[in-house]
């Protein structure tokens, strides 16, 4: 398995946490399916569907947040509520007021919920207590916050911090493009976004196209800065770095795939091997990226 998006947070290194302690902390928030009256439920699920909430390999911890959400569009509620309001108007001789309409909508929602379809989503999180990383595979900060909020419920005084670096990603990416060079161990790929900082926030995107140095200089001179940059680390992992220090579109390249252990036919062994490979490579990538951005900033 490989994470596709990295929302990155810091923990103490090393952190006194192991699979047994984390399992005990997460158990009270084990996932429970929606009842007939629930619009959404969230809780921890077993990463390997074996009833164990924390999967541990080589001191690396993998957990998963399960989310079930009922699909009940507001347009459906409004349509049924309107029809019911018409019936009530005929019975009582006048249109329902605001309070009565609110009660009608609540009643309709309760009636429709048991028949609503559900969608399920899994959000993965990797905890590295040795090197002090919490990495959540989520495309948005909002989805990552769901994981963090539930972790805080289970772990008293969770020592979690946002990752702060000395040089902002926007400043660093703009400098790399302006100098037509990448930091040591990295190469710049073809996808780029440059955005002006003024009210209009004019944006230029290059997709699968190399940006010429003259074009870079012209855009920077006009006030634009780089807000997204496709890069490759050590010829092993490609990704897109964003202005918020989120890493997107993570992909293992052929050199990693060739070294992956495919000899075992056992699913559990293959899963553990992939997890060890992923966490080992991503830990090195994160260290090199933080170094390229001037190191971690200590926030007091």
Mean pLDDT over 209-231 rounds to: 91
Mean pLDDT over 157-166 rounds to: 95
Q: Tell me, what's the pLDDT at 265? A: 62
**Residues sharing a CB contact under 8 Å with residue 150, sequence separation 6 or more, in sequence order:** 29, 42, 43, 44, 65
Confidence tier at 111 by pLDDT (50, 70, 90): confident
Cα–Cα distance between 257 and 221 in angstroms, integer? 41
Confidence tier at 148 by pLDDT (50, 70, 90): very high
Q: Tell me, what's the pLDDT at 211? A: 83
Cα–Cα distance between 47 and 270 in angstroms, integer? 14
Q: Tell me, what's the pLDDT at 212? A: 85
Q: Tell me, what's the pLDDT at 42? A: 97
Mean pLDDT over 24-40 rounds to: 93
Q: Tell me, what's the pLDDT at 113? A: 82
Cβ neighbours of 137 (radius 10 Å): 21
Cα–Cα distance between 28 and 110 in angstroms, integer? 27
Q: Tell me, what's the pLDDT at 117? A: 85
User: pLDDT by residue (tens digit) across 85-103?
Assistant: 888 888 888 888 999 899 8
Strands (E), the chain: 7-10, 40-45, 55-57, 60-71, 117-128, 133-136, 161-162, 186-196, 203-206, 224-233, 237-242, 247-252
Confidence tier at 300 by pLDDT (50, 70, 90): low
């Amino acid at each position: 398995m490989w994470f596709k998006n990295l929302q990155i947070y810091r923990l103490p290194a090393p952190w006194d946490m192991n699979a047994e302690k984390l399992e005990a902390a997460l158990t009270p928030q084990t996932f429970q399916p929606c009842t007939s009256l629930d619009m959404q439920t969230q809780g921890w699920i077993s990463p390997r569907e074996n009833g164990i909430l924390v999967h541990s390999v080589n001191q690396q911890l993998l957990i998963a947040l399960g989310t079930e959400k009922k699909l009940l569009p507001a347009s459906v509620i409004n349509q049924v509520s309107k029809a019911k309001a018409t019936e009530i108007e005929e019975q009582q001789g006048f249109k329902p007021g605001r309070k009565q309409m609110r009660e009608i909508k609540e009643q309709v929602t309760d009636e429709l919920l048991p028949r609503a379809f559900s969608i399920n989503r899994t959000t993965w999180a990797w905890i590295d207590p040795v090197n002090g990383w919490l990495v959540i595979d989520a495309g948005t900060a909002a989805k990552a916050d769901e994981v963090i909020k539930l972790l805080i419920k289970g772990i008293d005084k969770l020592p979690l911090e946002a990752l702060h670096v000395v040089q902002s990603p926007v400043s660093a990416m703009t400098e790399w493009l302006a100098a037509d060079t990448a930091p040591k161990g990295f190469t710049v790929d073809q996808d780029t976004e440059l955005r002006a900082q003024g009210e209009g926030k004019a944006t230029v995107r290059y997709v699968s196209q190399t940006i010429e140095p003259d074009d870079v200089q012209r855009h920077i001179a006009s006030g634009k800065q780089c807000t997204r940059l496709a890069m490759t680390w050590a010829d092993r992992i490609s990704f897109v770095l964003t202005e918020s220090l989120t890493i997107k579109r993570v992909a293992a390249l052929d050199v990693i795939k060739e070294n992956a252990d495919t000899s075992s036919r056992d699913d559990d062994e293959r899963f553990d091997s992939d997890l060890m490979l992923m966490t080992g490579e991503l830990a090195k990538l994160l260290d090199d990226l933080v170094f390229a951005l001037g190191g971690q900033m200590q926030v007091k």
